[in-house]
Each structure stands twice: as structure tokens, then as C-alpha cells.
């Protein structure tokens, strides 16, 4: 059951503050537990990973062979393979359009400058698997990495019953190189420092629960990470024209991910808020993960009745949700007012699960207000660039004195010398210049 709150400048602020608090990475108990796991893995390597994996997931880590991936693919129903291939094609298409290609041009001084773009060498992708199987997250992590030209993609996912044929088939479709059954903070630590057969990676991406999100944050610096993608969130902005069945269904679609998930309605219509509340009760009655949904809606769900859509947009920007749905008479008209969200869904026929599975943009998105500064996972997350400079004698000559003047101002005589020596007669060095 969700609480209905009348926006009055203070009550809704208290709700927003509570949602920020929920951020797992701020939870000191989780952070203490994660630190202990990571320090243990750093000190004792694979032995510690084995012990943690047994303790938290009931199984030791292991590597899935290519033959097992092939067999899993063959065992999946053809309609599921078709759907995954379709999703992978859309993700590939979207990311190819975003791909920053290398560029080079003539500089104002007549040299050539530019940059070349390369994929990160070895990337780890985390695929959650504690309470649900996420073949879609395999595609959303790995396909953009492949488009970026990453050399080696190492997938990790907990060794639970959620490591299904569908997850392995998705790994094959997306072109994952190695697939290792290990999850939680122990997986993050192993990929950070290397542990036995689990290799160290340059960058780790992907969503996960509070333990995974905290571990990634602690690992940052030793490796690069994409963002903090923790428990799922949805915020719907709706006016009186919205269908309460659709609004309730979309709120529930994210509430079912995790007891820490959040689902918020901002509406200009008190009547819609009441109708959505009733719909939530009705629909929860026939959905399978009702216990999780009831917890997340009770703790991190609410409907806030706003004075107008401008107030709703301002609140949404403050919350910076992972997913923002706009179900108003003219959804696109509100888009210019939105600054902070992981992904925006416009109109009644763009439900959040469309983005989770098939539209093409990634479903790995910033959570807990971090959409204020993080962007969705994409091909760009797997790229790095190097600048390239190429001048000739003729293009360097006219600017030599300026470079020398700048170097001498910094008292870096070797820098100045590097330029000067090129324009001296051979053998003129050491003559007191
Ligand atoms: N933001 C996104 O893009 C996105 C996408 C998909 C899923 N999600 C989120 O990912 C999460 C998936 O969570 P999950 O739990 O199903 O899978 P998960 O793989 O993230 O976490 C499972 C792991 O947590 C560790 N763990 C569990 N309890 C622990 C404890 N008490 N101490 C130490 N470690 C412990 C275990 O090692 C286990 O392997 C959900 O919160 C979901 O909302 C987010
Ligand atoms: N909504 C999740 C991100 O918060 C992604 C997902 C995967 N499968 C279903 N949903
Ligand atoms: Zn989802």
C-alpha cells in the first residue's frame, strides 16, 4: 500500500530525504561487511573467494565452458532466442549510432591533430543473480562492450539456480569471452585484484544489489567503474488523463525487483492518486513477487499530489530517478523541464519494461539520485581515447618562439631546448644559447 502525500514544501522533502538514505552505499552495516570481504579476498585471493561464495551462495565459484554455453543456447525455446537476438540487434544498433569514431583535422597552425578511440582492454560485467535471473542484463552489459571493441569480456554472476540456460544463451549471443559463476562483493574483489582463475579487469560495469554497488564503489580507483547502479527505481509523472491501471502496473514493475526498490507517483490529480492506490492493491493480488513489492512500496513508495506539472518536474529533478515515465496529455512538452533521470519514457505506450528489454537504450542506469551526474551505460562507457599530434618542420617553425617563451616562463629549459635544438644548425648545441 502506498501513502498519498500532499506536496506542501516540507512533507515531500522528508520523503525525498528518506529515499536518499536508502542508498545502500550509505548503509554503514553493508559497507562494513563488504569491506571485510574485499580485504579478505585481497589478502588471500581465491581461497577467500571460495569461502565467501560458499557462505553467501552455497557454492564455490566455477567457470562455465564454451560447450556449456552452446548447450544452454540449444536448450532454450526458439521464441526466447528470437526475442534475445532481437533485443541484442536493437542494443547494437543504438550503440553503433552513439559510437565516437576517431577524428583528425588540420590545426590552425597547419599541423594535424585529432584523437583515436580504443576499447578498454579487459572488462568485467556483473550480471545480478541473487533473487532473479537477468539474461537481459547480460545483453545490456556485453553488447555495448563488443560494439566498443573491448578485447576481452569477463562475465560474473552468482552460482545460484538463477544462472539459467537463458543467461548463458544471452552470453553466447552477446559474445561474452569468459563466464564465471561468482557473485556479490567477492566477485567484485576478485575482478579488482585477480584471484586464481578469476582475472583482474580494467573496468567493471553492471548493476547489482546493495553489496555489489558498495563493493564497486570501494573498488573504484583500482579499476574503473561505470556508475552506482543499485536497487531499481521508477518515478511516474501523471496528470488526470493517465490510466491508473497503466500507472500502477509500471510502479509495480520496478517494485518487484528488490525490497529496496522504489516507486513514486507525482501527480496533479488527487483522484488519480487514489485510483492508482486501489489498482496497486488489485494488481498485486495476482502477481508473483507480492512480498517484495509490498515491502518496497511500503518503505520506498508513495504518491505525491503536486500543484502543477512544473512542481512535479522540479521534484523529479531533485529525486533524479533511474526511470522517469511521463503520462500526461502532452508528454513531450514536459521533456525540456527534465534534467536528471537515467531514462525518460514518454507517453502511455512507452512502459518502463520496454526499455528493460527491447527498445535499445541500456537498462543499466544510475540510481539513488546519482543520475544528477552519471549517464546510462553505453558504448561510451567502454571507450577511451588518445590524442594524436603530427606537425612538419614547416608547421612547427612559425610557432617555435611561442613554445620556447611558454617553456621558459615555467623555467623548464629542457622543454625549450627540445624546440630550439630542431632549428639550430647541426653541431650548434652547447654554444651558450
Ligand atoms: N540499476 C540497474 O540498472 C539494475 C538492473 C537490473 C537489476 N538491478 C538491481 O540489481 C539487484 C539484483 O540483486 P540480487 O540480490 O538479485 O542479485 P546480486 O547478484 O546483485 O546479489 C547477489 C549477491 O549478493 C551477495 N549477498 C547477499 N546477501 C549478502 C550478505 N548478507 N552479505 C554479503 N553478501 C551478500 C551474495 O554474494 C550474492 O551472490 C536488484 O537490486 C535490482 O533492482 C538494477
Ligand atoms: N529494471 C531493471 C533496472 O533497474 C532492469 C531489468 C532487468 N530485467 C528486468 N528489469
Ligand atoms: Zn526492471
Residues 6+ apart with CB under 8 A from 382: 119, 120, 123, 144, 145, 147, 148, 149, 150, 203, 205
C-alpha grid cell for residue 385? 581515447
322 catalytic, yes or no? yes
Segment 383-392 shows an average pLDDT of: 95
The DSSP H or E segment spanning 164 is: none
> Does 256 contact ligand 2 (Cβ within 6 A)?
no
Q: Which strands sit side by side in the sheet containing 112-119, from one edge to the other? A: 103-106, 112-119, 383-390
Tell me whether residue 329 is in a domain.
Answer: yes
**Do residues 219 and 239 both lie within one domain?**
no
Task: Determine the average pLDDT of the residues in 386-402.
Answer: 97
CATH code for the domain of 12: 3.40.50.1980
Same domain, 152 and 11: no
Tell whether 80 and 160 lie within a shared domain. yes
The answer on 299 and 397 residing in a single domain is no
Q: Is residue 370 part of a domain?
A: no
User: What pLDDT sits at residue 432?
Assistant: 40
Instruction: Assess whether the C-beta atom of 232 lies below 6 angstroms from ligand 2.
Output: yes
Instruction: With respect to residue 108, please indicate whether it lies within any of the assigned structural domains.
Output: yes
**Secondary structure element (H or E) that encloses residue 365, with its range:** none
Asked if residue 320 and residue 402 are part of one domain, the reply reads: no
Q: Are residues 75 and 216 in the same domain?
A: yes
Pocket test residue of 84, 227, 257 for ligand 2, highest count of atoms within 8 A of CB: 257
Model confidence at 332: pLDDT above 60: yes
Average pLDDT rounded to a whole number, residues 341-366: 97
Binding site annotation covers 356? yes
What does the DSSP assignment read for 330-359? SHHHHGGG----SEEEESTT--HHHHHHTS
The grid coordinates listed for 23 are 542508498
Q: From residue 377, how far is each of 17, 229, 279, 381 by CA, in Å?
A: 26, 10, 33, 6
Please indicate whether residue 233, judged by its CB atom, sits closer than 6 Å to ligand 2. no
Q: What is the pLDDT of residue 26?
A: 55
Residue 25 — very low, low, confident or very high, per pLDDT cuts 50/70/90?
very low
Mean pLDDT taken over the chain: 94
Q: E strands of 158-202, at which residues?
A: 178-181
Q: Are residues 270 and 328 in the same domain?
A: yes
pLDDT at 427 over 70: no
Give the model's pLDDT for residue 27: 75
| Residue 237: inside a domain | yes
User: What is the spatial distance between Cα 79 and Cα 220, in angstroms, rounded to a whole number?
Assistant: 39
Q: Is this complex scored with an ipTM above 0.95?
A: yes
Of 2-6, 97-101, 143-147, 218-222, the range with the lowest mean pLDDT is 97-101
Nearest residue (CA) to ligand 1, atom 29: 56
Predicted TM-score of the model (pTM): 0.92
The single residue of 31, 279, 322, 325 carrying the catalytic annotation is 322
Residue 412: give the domain boundaries: 392-433
pLDDT score of 423 more than 90: yes
| Mean pLDDT computed over 304-316 | 97
> How far is Cα 40 from Cα 25, in angstroms, rounded to an integer?
19
Which position has the higher pLDDT, 27 or 48?
48
Per the CB < 8 A criterion, the answer to whether 100 and 117 are in contact is yes
Nearest to 247 by CA among 225, 273, 268: 273
Known active-site residue 104:
no
The pLDDT-based confidence of 311 (bands split at 50, 70, 90) is: very high
User: Does 34 share its domain with 90?
Assistant: yes
CA distances to 32, 179, 420 from 240, in Å: 46, 48, 74
| Substitution candidate for ligand 1 out of 41, 209, 366 with most atoms within 8 A of CB | 209
Please count the structural domains in the chain.
3
351 within some domain = no
User: Coil, strand, or helix at residue 406?
Assistant: helix
Domain co-membership, 219 together with 249: no
- Lookup result for grid cell 569477463: 154
Q: Which residue has the higher pLDDT, 295 or 131?
A: 295
The whole-angstrom separation of Cα 380 and Cα 377 is 8
User: Does residue 207 lie in a domain region?
Assistant: yes
274 and 257 assigned to the same domain: yes
Does 8 lie in the same domain as 89? Answer: no
Residue matched to cell numbers 571507450: 383
Residues 84 and 135 in one domain: yes
**Structural domain includes residue 353:** no
Whether residue 430 has pLDDT greater than 60:
no
CA dist 302 and 291 (Å) reads 17
> What are residue 103's DSSP bridge partners?
115
* In a domain? residue 178: yes
Amino acid at each position: 500500500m502506498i501513502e498519498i502525500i500532499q506536496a506542501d514544501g516540507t512533507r515531500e522533502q522528508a520523503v525525498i530525504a528518506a529515499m536518499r538514505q536508502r542508498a545502500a552505499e550509505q548503509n554503514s552495516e553493508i559497507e562494513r561487511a563488504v569491506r571485510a570481504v574485499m580485504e579478505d579476498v585481497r589478502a588471500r585471493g581465491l581461497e577467500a573467494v571460495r569461502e565467501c561464495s560458499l557462505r553467501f551462495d552455497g557454492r564455490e565459484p566455477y567457470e562455465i565452458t564454451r560447450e556449456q554455453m552452446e548447450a544452454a543456447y540449444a536448450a532454450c525455446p526458439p521464441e526466447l532466442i528470437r526475442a534475445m537476438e532481437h533485443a541484442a540487434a536493437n542494443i547494437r544498433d543504438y550503440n553503433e549510432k552513439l559510437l565516437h569514431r576517431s577524428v583528425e583535422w588540420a590545426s590552425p597552425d597547419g599541423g594535424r591533430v585529432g584523437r583515436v578511440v580504443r576499447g578498454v582492454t579487459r572488462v568485467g560485467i556483473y550480471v545480478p543473480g541473487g533473487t532473479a535471473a537477468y539474461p537481459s542484463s547480460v545483453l545490456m552489459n556485453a553488447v555495448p562492450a563488443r560494439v566498443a571493441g573491448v578485447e576481452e569480456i569477463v562475465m560474473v554472476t552468482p552460482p545460484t539456480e538463477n544462472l539459467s540456460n537463458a543467461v548463458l544463451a544471452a552470453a553466447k549471443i552477446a559474445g561474452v569471452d569468459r563466464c564465471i559463476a561468482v557473485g556479490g562483493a567477492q566477485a567484485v574483489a576478485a575482478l579488482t585484484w585477480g584471484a586464481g582463475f578469476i582475472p583482474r579487469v580494467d573496468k567493471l560495469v553492471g548493476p547489482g544489489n546493495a553489496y555489489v554497488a558498495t563493493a564497486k564503489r570501494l573498488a573504484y580507483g583500482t579499476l574503473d567503474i561505470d556508475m552506482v547502479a543499485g536497487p531499481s527505481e521508477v518515478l511516474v509523472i501523471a496528470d488526470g488523463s493517465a490510466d491508473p491501471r497503466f500507472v500502477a502496473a509500471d510502479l509495480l514493475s520496478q517494485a518487484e525487483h528488490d525490497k529496496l526498490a522504489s516507486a513514486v507517483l507525482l501527480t496533479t490529480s488527487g483522484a488519480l492518486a487514489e485510483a492508482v492506490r486501489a489498482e496497486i492493491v488489485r494488481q498485486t493480488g495476482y502477481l508473483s513477487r507480492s512480498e517484495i513489492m509490498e515491502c518496497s512500496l511500503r518503505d520506498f513508495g508513495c504518491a505525491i499530489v503536486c500543484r502543477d506539472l512544473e512542481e512535479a518536474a522540479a521534484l523529479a529533478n531533485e529525486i533524479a530517478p533511474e526511470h522517469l515515465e511521463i503520462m500526461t496529455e502532452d508528454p513531450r512538452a514536459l521533456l525540456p523541464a527534465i534534467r536528471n533521470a537515467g531514462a525518460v519514457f514518454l507517453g502511455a505506450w512507452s512502459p518502463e519494461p520496454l526499455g528493460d528489454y527491447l527498445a535499445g537504450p541500456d537498462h543499466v542506469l544510475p540510481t539513488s539520485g546519482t543520475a544528477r551526474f552519471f549517464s546510462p551505460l553505453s558504448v561510451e562507457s567502454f571507450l577511451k581515447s588518445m590524442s594524436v599530434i603530427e606537425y612538419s618542420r614547416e608547421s612547427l617553425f612559425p610557432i617555435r618562439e611561442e613554445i620556447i617563451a611558454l617553456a621558459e616562463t615555467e623555467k623548464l629549459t629542457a622543454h625549450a631546448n627540445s624546440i630550439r635544438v630542431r632549428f639550430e644548425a647541426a653541431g650548434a648545441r652547447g654554444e651558450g644559447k
